[in-house]
Amino acid sequence: MKFILKITLIYFLLISLSFSETNFQQKKFYYENLVKNWTKIFPDSNRNAAGPRFFKYLIDQDLTYEEFIEYNKLYCPVSGSLINPGEKPDFIFVKELRTQKNICGELYRCCWPCSCDLMNYTKVKKIKHKFKDGPKTIDVLLIDNPCTKKDFPKEVNRNYFCNGQKLNKEEVYVVDSKLVIGILYEARKCQKADIKKIESNEITGKFCAFKNDIPLEEMNIGMGDIFIKMAR
């Protein structure tokens, strides 16, 4: 009996390892596909704060819901940087657009300051979209229209986002007159234990508290003041 149980456990372990390897290879394929299409997404190769360009490109493709979700895990909504397949997300909270209630979820980002900036300067809203395999809901991260700003950061290609002072819907995805920059994964209403977990985490608690105390003009961490100038 013990021998059969041992063989069974080994069998399931091998199946699990095989599935994990297949899953990783699929994510690697998605990553390589984004690299291949880089110049379509960023014609001048400037991806600074241009996560919204990734989102727009992907939502315009004929993808299944699962494909869309996995592709969106491979770029940072704050910086526009690509993220290696298999990276672990941060557990964060942001305000829901309409109710201002805390919504907790997972964020895939390139570096830890991006989590801090996103929690400070974005909102989240659940929307429905029709994918290749049918309609599904997704939780999109939003910032206000940056096109009216006099201090629009010079490091960012304004033409990627704007048509005059309006968001260019041909270039970016817009919800409630706000710019969609990415997705919050596994989103749900926060519980007290969730907030405590986030605030006690070394990154989302300690490091973010340190970063948030730095004056904007002295900011030189991650994307520095670039995203903040766009999103505040």
Residue 5 domain-assigned (yes or no): no
**Is the separation of the CB atoms in 135 and 198 below 8 Å?**
no
What are the pLDDT digits (tens) for 103-115? 999 999 999 999 9
**Phi, psi at residue 159, to the nearest 5°?**
-65, -20
**Which residues, 6 or more positions from 163, have their beta carbon under 8 angstroms from its beta carbon?**
147, 170
Q: Which residues of 124-152 are buried (b: 16+ CB within 10 A; e: fewer)?
A: bbeeeeebeeeeeebbbbbbbbbbebeee
Q: How confident is the model at residue 7 (pLDDT cuts 50, 70, 90)?
A: low
Residue 55 domain-assigned (yes or no): yes
Identify which has the larger pLDDT, 163 or 215: 163
Identify which has the larger pLDDT, 9 or 224: 224
Report the predicted TM-score, pTM, of the whole model to 2 decimal places: 0.87
Confidence (pLDDT) at 20: 55
The residue to which tokens 């994990």 are assigned: 20
> How many CB atoms are located within 10 Å of the residue 71 CB?
21
* pLDDT, average across residues 45-63: 95
Residue 47 domain-assigned (yes or no): yes
Residue 44, domain extent: 37-231
Percent of the chain whose pLDDT exceeds 70: 88
Residue 166 domain-assigned (yes or no): yes
Residue 24 domain-assigned (yes or no): no
Residue 1 domain-assigned (yes or no): no
**Is the separation of the CB atoms in 103 and 184 below 8 Å?**
yes
What are the pLDDT digits (tens) for 72-101? 999 999 999 999 998 999 999 999 999 999
Confidence (pLDDT) at 182: 98
pLDDT score of 8 more than 90: no
Confidence (pLDDT) at 17: 40
Q: Look at residues 77, 50, 90, 111 and name the one whose alpha carbon lies nearest to residue 183.
A: 77
Overall number of domains in the chain? 1
What are the pLDDT digits (tens) for 121-170? 999 999 999 999 999 999 999 999 999 998 899 999 999 999 999 999 99
Identity of residue 29: F
Residue 30 domain-assigned (yes or no): no
Residue 213 domain-assigned (yes or no): yes
**Phi, psi at residue 149, to the nearest 5°?**
-75, 135
pLDDT score of 181 more than 80: yes
